[in-house]
Amino acid sequence: MALRSVLLAVISAIVSIPTANAASTPASSNNIILRNLAVPRFFGAAANTTFLYHDLNYTEVISTQFSIFTPENEMKWEDIEPEPNSFDFGPADEIVRFAESVNAKVRGHNFMWGSQLPPWVNDTLTATELDRALQNHITKVMEHYRGKLYAIDVVNEMISDNTPNETFKDNIWTEKFGEEAVPKALTYARAVDSQPKLYINDYSIEGINSKSDTLYSVLQGFIADGVPIDAVGFQCHFYLGQVPDTLQQNLQRFADLGLDVAITELDINLQGPGNATSLEQQAKDYWTVVNACVQTKRCVSVTVWGVSDDHSWIPGGNPLPWNAEKQPKPAFYAIADAFEGKPEP
C-alpha cells in the first residue's frame, strides 16, 4: 500500500492526472491524451497488477492515457474464487481502486467462460451443483462490486467456431445446461444489479461471417425472449493487415438491434520486432478499427489488450501502441487521428 501511494505521488508530480473531459500535458507523447480525444467514448486498457505500481513507466502511461480498465486476469474465476465460496478480491480491488484514483471506469471480466476455471469447477459437478456455483459466483462478485462496474463481460467466448453447424461451444456450461447456459448467466447477473451493462464478448465476430451471423441470430432471439443483454464486445485480436473490411458495417448491424457495441481487446500482432513498413501498416490497422468505432454511434469504447509490447499476452508479437520502453509507436498517433476524425495515416 505504501509503495502504491509513493508511486502515485511520483506520477502525479510528473503528470497531471486527467479526468475524462480535462486537458492534460504530460511530457511524453507530444501532449496527446487519448482518453480526452476519445470523448464521448472511452479509451481503455487491460490492466494487470503484476505491472501496476511495479513498473513506473507503465504506471505513468496507464494513469494518463485511459478512461476505462478491464482486469486482464484478476476477475477471472480461477483468480477470484479459487476454492468453493472462498473469494480473493484483493488484486481486482487494487485495479478498481486505481481506476477510481484516475477517474476511470471499470469493465468486469468475466463470469461464464470455458477457460481459466478453478480445478473444483469440473465435470464431476452435477447440473444442479454447477448451477448453484454459477449463481453464487455471479451474486457474490456483483454484490462486492456494486456501484463500481460500468459493464461486465458476463459471457466470454461461448459462440462455437463451428458455425453454422453448432451454435455454442462444447464446454462444461453447455454440457450441463445446453442452450440455456448463456441466458442463465445473463439472468443471474441482472437479478443482482440492474446498473452495469451486461456484455457478451467474443473473437472472430468482428467481420460479417458465419460466426457473427450466428451471434446476431442468438441475440435476436434473446431480445425477443426478454433475456437481459445490453451490449456486444468485439475482441479484435488481429494479425497485421487482417482487419475485416466489414468491421464497421458489422458493428452497426448489432447496434441496430438496440445494443451498445465495444472494441474490447484490441491488438495488432506484428509477429516479430517490426520495421518501418510493418509499423506503418500496424498504424493503419489501428486507425481502421478505431475509425469503425467512431463511425458507429453506439460504439462506446475502444480497449487495447495491454499497454506496452513488453507486457502483452503475445510474446514477441509487439502488438500494442507503446513499445517496451513505453514510448508511443506510430499506432498511438493513428489512434489519436481516428478519434479526431483525421484521415488514415
Assign residue 26 a region (left: φ > 0; alpha: ψ between -120 and 50; beta: otherwise): beta
Domains and CATH numbers, the chain: 2-339 (3.20.20.80)
Residue 265 appears among annotated catalytic residues: yes
**Whether 264 contacts 72, CB under 8 Å:** no
Task: Tell me the pLDDT of the chain averaged across its residues.
Answer: 92
- Cell numbers placing 296: 458507429
Q: Which of 60, 74, 94, 265 is catalytic?
A: 265
Indicate the pTM of the whole model. Answer: 0.91
- Cell numbers placing 149: 462496474
pLDDT of residue 26 exceeding 70: no
What average pLDDT does range 50-76 have in this prediction? 96
**CA-based max dimension of the chain:** 57
pLDDT of residue 138 exceeding 60: yes
**Whether 182 contacts 155, CB under 8 Å:** yes
Q: What is the pLDDT of residue 21?
A: 35
Q: What is the pLDDT of residue 25?
A: 31
Place of cell 477470484: 80
Q: Which of 72, 157, 175, 325 is catalytic?
A: 157
Q: Of 17-31, 86-100, 219-233, 311-325, where does mean pLDDT reach its minimum?
A: 17-31
Residue 100 appears among annotated catalytic residues: no
Q: Of 11-20, 203-212, 214-223, where does mean pLDDT reach its minimum?
A: 11-20
pLDDT, tens digit (0-9, with 9 covering 90-100), for 279-296: 999 999 999 999 999 999
Q: Please tell me the distance from the alpha carbon of residue 36 to that of residue 51, in angstroms, as a whole number.
A: 24
- Cell numbers placing 321: 501502441
Q: Please tell me the distance from the alpha carbon of residue 31 to that of residue 18, in angstroms, as a whole number.
A: 12
**Whether 173 contacts 114, CB under 8 Å:** yes
Q: What is the pLDDT of residue 10?
A: 42
**Whether 28 contacts 327, CB under 8 Å:** yes
Number of neighbouring beta carbons within 10 Å of residue 2: 6
Could you tell me what percent of the chain has a pLDDT over 70? Answer: 91
CA distances 231 to 59, 80, 330, Å, are 29, 24, 30
